[in-house]
């Protein structure tokens, strides 16, 4: 009989968001009248229409494909040159950061990139994650066999957890022990915290001193509103030798359904191979793309390119400002109700400390039952999230305002 990948059997319950959907469905099945009132502030999925610049670019690309002159079949697996160049120019070089076009790898999503990067990294690595953490970093390492079983407390054996608490501003300091891979996410999902330049300088120094790699998830970069907060890890000198950056068009351009993201993998970044030689990771990532991926569709890549046009940039700014307007409304309502809130300033997520003694799932159930609002329980992101919950600001203004009224009306 064939063997399954038994590492999957170590995974705790379901993936967080399907588990939330399951509970919400059970609730709406039992309370059909509440279903119509339901407001979803759980998963961070965009709600507003695609920018006009994007739609026009997509229409044009579709029409091109309808002519024999401009028809295209397979594209370059790593992304069309027009998009790689637009990304490298606009997101990096125009801001004084040294990133070459061929260091950009265009993909169908950051979630996939964060998971796929493990293909080109060894199984021997000691891995550190923030706690609370975007569950994909942990679960994909479990699937790849990089951990032991989960303890009763929910910690996987072999992973190093870096607690993110109100005391450290939800951004961990470098560990005292040596690790090889560190997942950092700023602006952070779920806490909405951002890493300061000083904090990132420490991390880059740590990575260089320990031959470690920083897996830097900047999917929410567009939401940074405070001046001085780094938007890319490459703003920190030395990061090209030790950091891989993950970016996405999901949350800035509203591409959660369209699907397009990219990684930046600098050619200077070296890893040790089995023979003890230090070798660049870039050719391996390139090879992975060529072998396991056929690239993002031409239409989608033209759509992503349009986000860098002047019209596209203005529309992205309007989308971000819309969601951040929601964040402000929700943040003020929950804080006005007497709860302690974090985030929501440089990120579309508000991280709330629940009432004393209540577990995150208790709060989830209460908010669902009393206010008919779906939130995300903090413990779903890890142990350090227990007692907290996350509110997503991705919503229409009408729904965000209504949710704010209901949060304020709850007897916390
Ligand atoms: C979230 O709600 O945390 C996001 O939807 C995660 C994601 O983008 O995959």
ipTM of this complex prediction, to 2 decimal places: 0.93
312 neighbors 51 (Cβ within 8 angstroms): yes
386 neighbors 363 (Cβ within 8 angstroms): no
Segments of the chain with pLDDT less than 50: none
* C-alpha 158 – ligand 1 centre gap (Å): 25
Dump pLDDT digits (tens) for 281-336.
999 999 999 999 999 999 999 999 999 999 999 999 999 999 999 999 999 999 99
| Cα 34 from Cα 373, distance rounded (Å) | 10
The CATH number of the structural domain formed by 13-49+312-409 is: 3.90.1150.10
Check residue 153 and give its pLDDT: 85
Beta bridge mates, 127: 159, 181
In ligand 1, the atom with minimum distance to the C-alpha of 44 is 2
Check residue 356 and give its pLDDT: 94
132 lines ligand 1 (CB under 6 A): no
H/E element holding 20?
A: helix 16-30
Dump pLDDT digits (tens) for 202-260.
999 999 999 999 999 999 999 999 999 999 999 999 999 999 999 999 999 999 999 99
Q: Which CATH architecture has domain 55-307?
A: 3-Layer(aba) Sandwich (3.40)
- Ligand 1 pocket test target in 41, 44, 115, 252 with most atoms within 8 Å of CB: 44
H/E element holding 136?
A: helix 135-143
| Cα 359 from Cα 349, distance rounded (Å) | 19
Domain limits of the chain? 13-49+312-409, 55-307
Check residue 14 and give its pLDDT: 67
Check residue 18 and give its pLDDT: 84
| pTM of the predicted protein model | 0.97
Check residue 17 and give its pLDDT: 84
Check residue 250 and give its pLDDT: 98
**Where does residue 73 rank: exposed (0-12), middle (13-18), buried (19+ CB within 10 A)?**
exposed
H/E element holding 138?
A: helix 135-143
- Encode burial over 12-36: b for 16+ CB neighbours within 10 A, e otherwise: beeebeeebbebbeebbeeeeeeee
Q: Which of 269, 259, 281 lies closest to 233 in space, CA to CA?
A: 269
* C-alpha 42 – ligand 1 centre gap (Å): 9
Please name the residue whose Cα sits nearest to atom 6 of ligand 1. Answer: 44
What single string gives the DSSP state of each residue in 337-352? TT-EEEESSSSSEEEE
């Amino acid at each position: 009989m064939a063997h399954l990948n038994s590492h999957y059997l170590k995974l705790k319950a379901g993936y967080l968001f399907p588990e939330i959907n399951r509970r919400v469905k059970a609730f709406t099945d039992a309370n059909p009248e509440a279903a119509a009132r339901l407001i979803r502030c759980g998963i961070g999925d965009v709600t507003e229409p695609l920018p006009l610049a994007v739609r026009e670019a997509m229409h044009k690309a579709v029409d091109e494909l309808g002519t024999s002159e401009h028809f295209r079949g397979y594209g370059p697996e790593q992304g069309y040159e027009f998009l790689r160049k637009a990304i490298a120019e606009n997101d990096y070089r125009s801001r004084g950061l040294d990133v070459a076009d061929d260091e950009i790898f265009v993909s169908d999503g950051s979630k996939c990139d964060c998971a796929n990067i493990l293909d080109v990294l060894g199984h021997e690595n000691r891995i550190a994650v923030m706690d609370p953490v975007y569950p994909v970093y942990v679960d994909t390492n479990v699937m790849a066999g990089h951990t032991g079983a989960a303890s009763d407390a929910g910690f996987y054996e072999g992973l190093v957890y870096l607690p993110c608490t109100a005391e450290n501003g939800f951004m961990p300091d470098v560990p005292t022990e040596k690790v090889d891979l560190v997942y950092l996410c700023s602006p952070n999902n779920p806490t909405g915290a951002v890493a300061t330049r000083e904090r990132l300088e420490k991390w880059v120094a740590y990575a260089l001193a320990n031959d470690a790699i920083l897996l830097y998830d900047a999917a929410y970069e567009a939401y940074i509103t405070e001046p001085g907060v780094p938007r890319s890890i490459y703003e920190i000198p030395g990061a090209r030798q030790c950091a891989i950056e993950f970016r996405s068009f999901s949350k800035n351009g509203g591409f959660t359904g369209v699907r397009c993201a990219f990684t930046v993998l600098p050619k200077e970044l070296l890893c040790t191979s089995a023979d003890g030689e230090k070798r660049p990771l870039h050719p391996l990532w390139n090879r992975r793309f060529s072998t396991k991926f056929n690239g993002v569709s031409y239409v989608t890549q033209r759509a992503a390119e349009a986000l860098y046009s002047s019209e596209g940039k203005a529309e992205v700014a309007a989308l971000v400002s819309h969601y951040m307007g929601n964040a402000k409304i929700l943040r003020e309502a929950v804080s006005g109700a007497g709860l302690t809130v974090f985030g929501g300033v440089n990120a579309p997520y508000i991280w709330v400390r629940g009432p004393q003694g209540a577990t995150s799932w208790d709060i989830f159930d209460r908010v669902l039952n009393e206010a008919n609002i779906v939130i995300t329980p903090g413990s779903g992101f890890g142990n350090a999230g227990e007692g907290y919950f996350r509110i997503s600001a991705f919503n229409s203004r009408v729904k965000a305002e209504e949710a704010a009224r209901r949060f304020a009306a709850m007897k916390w």
